[in-house]
Structure 1
Amino acid sequence: MNKGINAWCFPESYSINDLFKSARDHRFEGVELNLSENPSAPVYLHMKDKHLMDIKQKATDAGLSLPSLSTDLFWKYPLTHDDDHVREKGSSIAEEMIRIAEIFKAETILIVPGIVNEQVSYETSYKRSQESLHRLIPLAERANITIGIENVWNKFLLSPLEIRQFVDEFESPSIGIYFDVGNVYPYGYADQWIRILSDRIKAVHIKDFKESVGNINGFVPLLAGDIKWKSITDALDDIGYDGFISPEITPHQHFHQQFIKNLADTMDEIFHFQRQQGDVHE
């Protein structure tokens, strides 16, 4: 497995150079950047190829890869929305992610497949989501990118058996699963999900969760919650997972570098990264 980190773990004030330096200094192998609408963000919609290639070069110079690309824009522009224009905007964002990921030489993009709510039924979400994703498959295949469907709190694809069926129905290697360990709680057991989803898992997000809180405020730093991490590592070993493990955790308000150091050290302890890759960039 490879030691990655999502850019949301760093303060918004960090430049791309600051972010890559911190990731390198704390022995991370790859950084997952996030696509934004904000042109002041490190990666934003319709960013020119030359600027994206500059980011890729900076990562390479720091000894880092850019293995995946994430975004929070599918909450604003769901692929299942009642408004055709909103759905089209969501699809265009996915297309933009594929373009950027190809330049970054990333392997996976993270996509929220849809949202079920009072206006959009479960059955309608299933149909619309599959229609949108089917149209993206040829682009992903040409770019050699995997579309990673993430399990999120969207009232959709609520069991590992269902999300496995959802992915298998595409019959395409370009559709896989971006598995988030923390998001499974409090309604499931991540190790069971991992074994059921097996080699469909193309990338992994981690964060801890405190069941006594039971809502979005229950997401906490690693080892501060109730997730049984030994069961997670055992399950990942059982399926032969060898991709990136990337935390996606809100940074500390003040102690930025100590937060990243603690995160890196905890990942080394849980996943034995130091034994696998040694202490580099110290």
Structure 2
Amino acid sequence: MLKGINQWCFPEGTPLETVFDTCRRAGYDAVELNLYAPGGAGLTMDTTPGEAGAIGAMARKYGLQLRSLSTGLLGKYPLSSADEHVRETGRSVIRKQLELAAALGIDTILVVPGRVTEQVAYDVCYTRSQEELRRMMPEAEARGIFVGIENVWNKFLQSPLEMARYIDELDSPYAAAYYDVGNTLSIGFPDQWIRILGSRIKKVHVKDFKPEAGGYSGFVPLLAGGVNWGRVREALREIGYTDTLTAELDPYAAAPEQLVFDTARHLDFIIRGEIG
């Protein structure tokens, strides 16, 4: 498996060349970029395929792979919204992800499909977001890019059986899972999720969590929480997963760059099970 880190692990606005140089020095194999609104650092809704190609060349200069593309914009424009304009904006975000992923040679985009709220019931979120994703799958298939559905704290897809069914019902070879280990610790056991989702998993996010803390404050640096990384490692090997383990953590308040180096060492242990 490959060591990866998300751009969000750096302070907001960090130039990409700084991100790439730091990751090279820390020993990463890959960096996961994010799609931002116009004005963000790196890839934005205004980025052209040519500009994306230049970013890919910069990453290669630092010996880094770009294997997945994330975004937080679908939190603002969920595919489950009752507002057609919001859903259309969400579809435009996915189209842009697919366009830039193709320009960068990235094979997977991360998509948060929807959010259950007091206004959007669970069953409505399920059917409405599926309908919107089915509209996007032909373009994903034409580009050969997986749409990785991620499990997040959105009160949705609360079991691995449901998540597997949701993906299968999209009826596309390019509908996939982007599995987040830390996000499932409060509702289940990560190794069980991995075995049930199986080959649907195309990319993996890693973070750690202390269930007793509750809420977002429960997220902690890798190896500091309750994830049984030995069981996670075993399950990933069983399903034949060899792609990236991408850390997705908040920067340290003090010396934020140090998180990048600490996390690289933590990933070494998670991947190999050896202290070094």
Do these two structures clear the TM 0.5 threshold for a shared fold by scoring above it?
A: yes
Q: TM-score, normalised by structure 1?
A: 0.95
Partner of 1:231: 231
Partner of 1:39: 39
Write the distance in 2 (CA, Å) between the matches of 1:170 and 1:224. 37
Deviations 1:59-96 (A, max 9, x none): 11111111000011111000010111001100110111
Write the distance in 1 (CA, Å) between the matches of 2:50 and 2:154. 35
Write the distance in 2 (CA, Å) between the matches of 1:202 and 1:194. 11
User: Aligned letter for 2:195?
Assistant: R
Write the distance in 2 (CA, Å) between the matches of 1:274 and 1:148. 30
Task: Check the 8 A contact 1:147/1:175 in 2, yes or no.
Answer: yes
Between 76-85 and 119-128, the greater mean CA deviation after superposition: 119-128
Write the distance in 2 (CA, Å) between the matches of 1:273 and 1:46. 42
Partner of 2:104: 104
Q: CA deviation at 1:274?
A: 9.0
SS at match of 1:43: coil
**Does 1:78 pair with 2:78?**
yes
Partner of 1:267: 267
Partner of 1:242: 242
Task: Check the 8 A contact 1:4/1:30 in 2, yes or no.
Answer: yes
RMSD after superposition: 1.5
Q: CA deviation at 1:173?
A: 1.2
Write the distance in 2 (CA, Å) between the matches of 1:122 and 1:192. 23
Deviations 1:243-272 (A, max 9, x none): 110000001122133221111011111212
SS at match of 1:149: strand
SS at match of 1:211: coil
Task: Check the 8 A contact 2:116/2:125 in 1, yes or no.
Answer: yes
SS at match of 1:263: helix
Q: CA deviation at 1:40?
A: 3.5
Write the distance in 2 (CA, Å) between the matches of 1:113 and 1:257. 32
Write the distance in 2 (CA, Å) between the matches of 1:273 and 1:18. 30
Q: CA deviation at 1:13?
A: 4.1
Partner of 2:167: 167
Q: CA deviation at 1:47?
A: 0.9
Partner of 1:51: 51
Task: Check the 8 A contact 2:207/2:219 in 1, yes or no.
Answer: yes
Partner of 2:2: 2
**Does 1:199 pair with 2:211?**
no
Write the distance in 1 (CA, Å) between the matches of 2:40 and 2:173. 34
Partner of 1:212: 212
Write the distance in 2 (CA, Å) between the matches of 1:46 and 1:274. 43
Task: Check the 8 A contact 1:20/1:62 in 2, yes or no.
Answer: yes
Partner of 1:20: 20
Q: TM-score, normalised by structure 2?
A: 0.97
Between 264-273 and 195-204, the greater mean CA deviation after superposition: 264-273
Write the distance in 2 (CA, Å) between the matches of 1:143 and 1:46. 20
Task: Check the 8 A contact 1:26/1:264 in 2, yes or no.
Answer: yes
Deviations 1:207-236 (A, max 9, x none): 000111111110110011111110110110
Task: Check the 8 A contact 2:101/2:108 in 1, yes or no.
Answer: yes
User: Aligned letter for 2:25?
Assistant: D
Write the distance in 1 (CA, Å) between the matches of 2:104 and 2:12. 21
SS at match of 2:58: helix
Q: CA deviation at 1:168?
A: 0.9
Cα distance change of structure 1 residues 227 and 176 upon mapping to structure 2, 3 Å threshold:
same
Write the distance in 2 (CA, Å) between the matches of 1:50 and 1:91. 22
Task: Check the 8 A contact 1:110/1:178 in 2, yes or no.
Answer: yes
Write the distance in 2 (CA, Å) between the matches of 1:62 and 1:217. 34
Percent identity, please: 45
Aligned residues: 276
**Does 1:155 pair with 2:155?**
yes
